[in-house]
Structure 1
């Protein structure tokens, strides 16, 4: 990761309440890859106050999914998950100094939500730096009035070329 992108990610880590001096930042594998474009498919766990915070930076302002994702963070936070590892994990608690009780946002909040938001922003930063071509799509996206989640679960159909066009419109 270029030094300016790394500095942006570390600033986000601190803004999220990061507690470690030198955190191990490893966002994990990409969801999909097709024709030189990495594709992240974001389910409900990705949309909450912490992800909104990571998108509320000048360096993220040109991401093609930013505006939709900010809206999803507001509209769907309750679906981010409070059970078990959706709210906290040992590694997330270490990264952020602790975790509040499920559903509580006082001292620490949801450490796993913060960790997921940080890891998503790392992938965004790599794309902004031009190191990868990235497209982010969400289960909350609609294509011709049809919810992508419904298409993915077979409750609705769309022509494949419309889905591909949507993905391509979301690439960096």
Structure 2
């Protein structure tokens, strides 16, 4: 089953018999923004992920190391019967600089955007939500989804997001039963 939807749209070659290893940066240090585009709440927000903007270059180092590790995994003898030609980034992409260029061109958020309305301490001005998931300064409004995570978990966030919903239900029940 081809697994090339992330690179096909950028014009990379594809094959009906392919597989992919997709290294991800789960604890990125770069920080993006989500801002209102207009005063109309129905308009899509302006999202600027600001990929690879951390001053230390940590995120790009992790991405390059991920590509190298994926190649190492595929080079093992257990993969001999499955391995074919590397379609992307391609066998001619070898140096850290070349891999970084490929990563910069193709990197995107895949399936699990999170952390845009993080929960934090009541006195933390950088956290729009308090520890009870309430929007600070707005009565009766909570955010209950993956956007509340101050930092993305290192695994698929679906179960964590479900637990956030369960916790929110407990908090709301607690307020209404008191």
TM-score bucket of the superposed structures, by smaller chain: 0.3 to 0.5
* TM-score normalised by structure 1 residue count: 0.36
Q: Determine which structure has more spread, i.e. the larger CA radius of gyration.
A: 2
More helix by share: 1
More strand by share: 1
* TM-score normalised by structure 2 residue count: 0.35
